Chain A
């Protein structure tokens, strides 16, 4: 009898503890970051620090822009982000100023932020959610995960869906399009391009292009002028320094034997639209696809079979 009573008490105690645990868990939010670690907050984040320009864009896209209390240098989009206090550059963080802004969630960049400084933040008890989207799905899932942590699921999931749908539409439209051999120039000196695994490489494939350097092993290979001439791309697309700088394309104008030069297919794509893994990538991809359409139109003008 007494034994049973004790058992009862224990059970009641266990039930109470369980109830307590549940109570603590109510309002808690969890998401898995790009290191594969689960980050849990007792309640949705109210004060978010975004430690890369891309992270800032993604937090705004997830509908939590009004909760951003700290950004880093070059966080220029959306324009509202320029008004948020900066805590240094993504490579050298001013931890003092960051702590003073009292963030309850920090969005770190897996390979871009100094690991020692982010580890110091975690030691101080501030949850750090590491991101590094490398695919179209990565962009939309990052927006969703940030929305969960910030408690802005409605806006965030809608934006993620808009991005996902936009990419799907492009994929459907260009599925059977004539392949265009493309060279994308990431950098000028040294001359650099991307392979098929890079997000920009995926944009090329999405638009029905064929990356002439897609099979190279390195994500961002360094190549020579000769390799470009030998590959003879039909279209060359380049970023550049600044948003309106066609300078990098001038070097190719000197080679009339290049198909791209002959067909006048030297195009500038604003780097901020395509080099950041954020929702603006959809806009950049549309632009990219339009350029390849132009290249296909030029082909029709000069007759087929002459790439």
Chain B
């Protein structure tokens, strides 16, 4: 089966590269194709080099990493919770990250500390949900889901409280952070490296994940160590989401819809779906960000607007077709 599906990964990788090439070559300032080629071969004007290498390329890579991380995290959460509505944020991780980031902003800290604080908040949220769901009773996906959703509601209340008491001049910055945007990404490398490492780690676990997706009883019966596997999925998905949120704020939609889209097209083999999520999620965010930069330039749209506008019709079409 994987022999049949491997080409689909190659096709997706090709599309990703095309999307990235497109994203690097378009922008609010048009760089003629000839100049573009000379810049890529190391020549061209200094301005064009700055545009391509200092602004567009890092941003494109950051968008790819963020989209990939979110889509893989979403796919993992859907397997773990066996719930189609699960997304990377369902267990309150983005809420924890937001509280961390907003606290740092209230304290007037710099960008690096805001990122650090967001990451710490995400990890705290992860451990909190993990500890509470673990509790004294048994550790079931529904218990985890319920704990996560309630904790997420708690974070939501804390965020609203912080926005309500924040000094007016700090409010805009806080609201933009909550909207999420790739333009806040300073460096793409942590996200890209993590994405690659996680794909390599998860690949050998693909079969176990496939079995787990059908239910823990079957998985246990087939010799999968269910509990450790579930913990691993939870921790990996949390780490992925925390990194994505730290890079670009909480960008919605990608983590929920990309895994579903791929399952509709490629079937539910996690060995294919997970790497495909990394590629397709990254591609969707790269294209959305390219559009967000140019649609009403020089004004810039929040990328979440575009991911939803692109993703909703594609997803509905695939869903409609799969039923017909």
**Which 3 residue pairs across A and B have the least CB separation, nearest first?**
A220-B168, A92-B300, A94-B298
Partner of B111, one of A88, A92, A112, A116: A116
B-contacting residues of A (Cβ < 8 Å)?
A: 73, 85-89, 91-97, 99-100, 102, 111-112, 114-117, 119-120, 123-124, 132, 218-220, 222
Q: Is B173 interfacial (CB 8 A cutoff)? A: yes
| Contact, CB under 8 Å: B51 / A99 | yes
Q: Taking A92-B299, A96-B28, A220-B167 as contacts, is the C-beta distance between A114 and B186 under 8 angstroms?
A: no
A222 to B: closest C-beta gap in Å: 8
State A237–B169 Cα separation when bound (angstroms): 22
Whether A97 touches B173, Cβ cut-off 8 Å, given contacts A114-B183, A115-B110, A218-B167, is no
Identify the closest chain A residue to B184 (Cβ).
Answer: A116
Cα-based distance from A94 to B30 in the complex (angstroms) = 13
Q: Which residues of A contact B111 (CB under 8 A)?
A: 115-116, 119
Give the distance in Å from the alpha carbon of A124 to the alpha carbon of B186 in the complex.
Answer: 12
Q: Is the CB of A99 within 8 A of B47?
A: yes
Please, which residues of chain B bring their CB within 8 A of the CB of A100?
29, 47, 51
Name B263-291 residues within 8 Å CB distance of A. none
User: A114–B173 contact, CB under 8 A?
Assistant: yes
Q: What are the residues of chain A within 8 A of B169 when measuring CB–CB?
A: 111-112, 132, 219
List residues of chain A with CB within 8 A of the CB of B300: 88-89, 92-94
Chain B residues with Cβ below 8 Å from A111 are: 169-170, 172-173
Q: Tell me the minimal C-beta distance from A121 to chain B in angstroms.
A: 10
Interchain nearest-CB distance for A276 vs B (Å): 14
B residues lining the A interface (CB < 8 Å) = 27-29, 47, 50-51, 54-56, 110-111, 114, 164-165, 167-170, 172-173, 176, 181, 183-186, 293, 297-302
Complex CA gap A86/B297 in Å reads 9
B-side contacts of A117, CB under 8 Å: 183-184
Q: A94-B28, A117-B183 are in contact. Are A86 and B298 (CB under 8 A)?
A: yes
25 contacts between A and B (CB under 8 A): A86-B298, A88-B297, A88-B299, A89-B299, A92-B176, A92-B181, A92-B300, A92-B302, A93-B300, A94-B28, A95-B55, A96-B27, A100-B29, A111-B172, A114-B183, A115-B110, A116-B111, A117-B184, A119-B111, A120-B186, A123-B54, A124-B54, A218-B167, A219-B168, A220-B167
Given contacts A96-B27, A96-B56, A220-B167, contact A114 B299 (CB under 8 A): no
Q: Is the CB of B183 within 8 A of A97?
A: no
**Contact B167 A96, beta carbon cutoff 8 Å:** no
Q: Is the CB of A87 within 8 A of B298?
A: yes
Residues of B within 8 A of A115 (CB): 110-111, 114, 173
**CB-based nearest B residue for A194:** B168
Total cross-chain contacts (CB, 8 A): 87
Complex Cα spacing A117 to B293, Å:
14
Chain A residues with Cβ below 8 Å from B185 are 116
Cβ B50 vs Cβ A124 within 8 A: yes
A94 touches B299 (CB 8 A): yes
Q: A88-B299, A89-B299, A119-B186 are in contact. Are A96 and B55 (CB under 8 A)?
A: yes
Report how far A78 CA is from B4 CA in the complex, Å: 66
List residues of chain B with CB within 8 A of the CB of A99.
29, 47, 50-51, 55
Min Cβ gap B30→A in Å is 10
B298 and A91 form a contact (CB under 8 A):
no
**Can you name the residue of chain A whose Cβ is closest to the Cβ of B110?**
A115
Contact (Cβ within 8 A) B299 A112: no
- Do the beta carbons of B183 and A116 come within 8 Å of each other? yes
Cα separation A120 to B110 with both chains bound (whole Å):
13
Q: Smallest CB–CB gap between A185 and chain B, Å?
A: 14
Instruction: Give complex CA distance A224, B55 in Å.
Output: 46
In the bound complex, do residue A73 and residue B299 qualify as a contact, i.e. CB atoms below 8 Å apart? yes
Closest CB of chain A to B197's CB: distance in Å?
A: 25
Q: Given A97-B297, A97-B298, A114-B183, are A219 and B167 also a contact pair (CB < 8 Å)?
A: yes
Report the Cα distance A94→B183, complex, angstroms: 9
Interface centre among A94, A117, A123 (most CB of B within 10 A): A94
In Å, the complex CA distance between A93 and B181 comes to 12
Q: Which residue of B lies closest to A198 (CB)?
A: B168
B40 CB to nearest chain A CB (Å): 17
For the complex, give the distance between the alpha carbons of A73 and B28 in Å: 16
Chain B residues within 8 Å of A92, by CB: 176, 181, 183, 299-302
- Report the separation of the CA atoms of residues A1 and B186 in the bound assembly, to the nearest whole angstrom: 59
Closest to A116 in B: B184
Quick one: closest A residue to B170, CB to CB? A111
Residues of chain B within 8 A of A220, CB atoms compared = 167-168
Q: How far is the CB of A297 from chain B (nearest CB, A)?
A: 34
